[in-house]
């Protein structure tokens, strides 16, 4: 991790917030643009889940993480609080590693 990355992201993240609150204010963006922006978390977070669960470097793998994430998916689907989702997943993965 580099300082350039940390500070670059800080600048960029603030620029997005600043743009919305101070620059554009209450002006409306075109509806298709707003819909695409609204889908960013769905697309990116799902991709991150897939990557963190099934990859190690550039290899696709299936290990104890998958069981933990499966538990997380079930818990999240049943609307468990965030903390519960994370703790169940970590505990499941840790337990499988202990046993194997």
Residues 31-70 that bind other proteins (CB under 8 A): 31-32, 34-60, 64-65, 68-69
Q: Which residues contact 93 (CB under 8 A, 6 or more apart)?
A: 64, 65, 67, 68
Nearest distance in Å: CB 53, other proteins = 5
Is residue 99 close enough to count as binding other proteins by CB under 8 A?
A: no
Nearest distance in Å: CB 95, other proteins = 8
Is residue 79 close enough to count as binding other proteins by CB under 8 A?
A: yes
> CA-CA-CA-CA torsion for 34, 45, 7, 86, nearest 10 degrees?
130
């Amino acid at each position: 991790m580099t300082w350039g990355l940390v500070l670059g992201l800080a600048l960029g993240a603030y620029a997005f917030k600043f743009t919305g609150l101070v620059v554009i204010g209450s002006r409306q963006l075109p509806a298709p643009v707003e819909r695409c922006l609204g889908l960013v978390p769905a697309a990116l977070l799902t991709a991150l889940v897939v990557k963190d669960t099934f990859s190690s470097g550039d290899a696709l793998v299936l290990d104890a993480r998958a069981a933990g994430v499966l538990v997380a998916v079930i818990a999240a689907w049943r609307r468990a609080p965030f903390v519960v989702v994370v703790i169940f997943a970590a505990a499941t993965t840790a337990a499988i590693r202990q046993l194997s």
